[in-house]
Amino acid sequence: MFKNNLPHIYAWLLLTPALILMGTFTHLPSFTTLVSSFFSTGTKKFPSKYIGLENYEMIFDDPIFLEAVLNNAWYAVATIIPSVFLAILMAVFVDSKIRGRVLVRMAYFTPTILPMIAVSNIWLFFYTPEIGLIDQIAINLGFTSQNWLGDKDTVLNCLIIITIWKEAGFFMIFYLAALQNIPPELKEAAMLEGSSKFYFFRRITFPLLMPITLFVVINATLNSFKLVDHLFILTKGGPDNASNLILYYIYETAFSFLDSSYAATLTIFLLLILAIISIVQFILFDKRIHYR
């Protein structure tokens, strides 16, 4: 009897550390977040009390949150597509036989290893009007000075560029690994058949990269909701919320407005958005992925 159960016990023992970690740091906090979203934030004058769905109703009456959601949607689309595209391009480039291949690979990967806060401080002095790098070059070329981060129309795109610059190199590593796993016989066969390079990429390489693309796209999506470090340094969500993103707004609500219950509600909302996006991605991609 005991002997039969041994593998089970063994398996559970192996799983225990992970279960404890996941439980205490992921599931328990998510649950308490859900619970506190049904209460008001307690203060000395107004103690916390059960308010049902009031916090959720507040979301739909909150123009700043709506703006943050719209900003985040554009931020996601405009970072994911170019950075995945760039990553493939860079991976194919550094996978080919070029001189100084290691150097180029390293150069592409450097932005990834820099902390986002450091990156933001560097870019702050790129974007600064008059004395920033971009403006100094532009002014010398005869353009007028641009207030990149101080203009509602440019600020979000400025942040998007930083994110693409930072993420593309990271995704490139995955593509590079995948490219090196593609058997060379396929290429030789294609050459014998006389297919063009682009045709080969479109019909062989790209489909074989699909599992990686799914992984990368899901990661990029999560990052576009998760990565807000640069807002602290560069814009604080401004001017007038033009660069406010959901997570930054949640942070502000919790720690600047000290309204932890409403922040919890916004967090639940964000969790829902992310869950829906991941499910859709898995379903959509699953049909087009060829796993070996």
Partner 1 sequence: MISNIKSFKKTILTLLGILLFFTTKSFGIELNMYYPVAVGGPLTKIVDGMVDEFERNNPDVKVNAIYAGNYNDARIKALAALKSGKPAQLSVMFSIDIYELIEQDAIVPFDDLVSTYEDKAWLYSFYPTLMENGVTEGKVWGIPFQRSTIVMYYNKDLFRKAGLNPNKPPNTWNELVSYGKKIVDSTSSWGVMIPSTGYPYWMFGALTMQNDQVLMNGDGNKTYFDHPSVVGALQYWHDLGNKHKVMPSGTIEWGTLRKNFLEGKTAIMWHSTGNLTTVKKNAKFDFGVAMLPASKRRGTPTGGGNFYIFKKTSAAEKKASMRLIKFMTSPEQAAHWSMSTGYMGVSPASYQTSALTNYVKTFPPALVARDQLNFATAELSTFQTGRVRKLLDDAIQSALTGNKTPESALKGAQSSADKLLRRYR
Choosing from 131, 141, 192, 283, the residue that interacts with partner 1 (CB under 8 A) is: 131
Least distance to partner 1, CB of residue 155, Å? 9
Choosing from 40, 112, 147, 219, the residue that interacts with partner 1 (CB under 8 A) is: 147
Least distance to partner 1, CB of residue 227, Å? 19
Candidates 13-21, 89-97, 188-196, 248-256; binding stretch for partner 1 (CB under 8 A): 248-256
Number of residues that bind partner 1 (CB under 8 A): 31
Check residue 3 for interaction with partner 1 (CB under 8 A). Answer: no
Binders of partner 1 among 265-284, rule CB under 8 A? none
Binders of partner 1 among 37-76, rule CB under 8 A? 43-46, 64
CA-wise closest residue to 246 among 229, 270, 222: 270
Least distance to partner 1, CB of residue 24, Å? 16
Q: Are 167 and 109 in contact (CB under 8 A)?
A: no
Binding letters toward partner 1, positions 172-211, x by CB under 8 A = ----------------------------------------
Identify the sign of the CA torsion 108, 114, 117, 118.
negative
- Residue whose structure tokens are 């922040």: 263
Least distance to partner 1, CB of residue 165, Å? 20
Candidates 69-77, 156-164, 197-205, 249-257; binding stretch for partner 1 (CB under 8 A): 249-257
Copy the structure tokens of residue 214: 């799914």
Cβ-proximal residues to 261 (8 Å cutoff; 6+ apart), any chain: 36, 37, 39, 40, 41, 48, 55
By the 10 Å C-beta count (0-12 exposed, 13-18 middle, 19+ buried), 43 is classed as exposed
Binding letters toward partner 1, positions 218-237, x by CB under 8 A = ---------------x-xx-
Least distance to partner 1, CB of residue 250, Å? 13
Cα distance between residue 75 and residue 77, in whole Å: 6
Q: Are 91 and 176 in contact (CB under 8 A)?
A: yes
Least distance to partner 1, CB of residue 172, Å? 32
Candidates 123-131, 164-172, 180-188, 275-283; binding stretch for partner 1 (CB under 8 A): 123-131
CA-wise closest residue to 104 among 114, 113, 115, 93: 93
Check residue 287 for interaction with partner 1 (CB under 8 A). Answer: no
HSE on the CB side for 124, CA within 13 Å?
Answer: 14
CA-wise closest residue to 235 among 226, 227, 224, 245: 245
CA-wise closest residue to 126 among 33, 233, 217, 206: 233
List residues near partner 1 by CB under 8 A: 43-46, 64, 124-125, 128-131, 145, 147, 149-152, 233, 235-236, 238-242, 252, 255-259
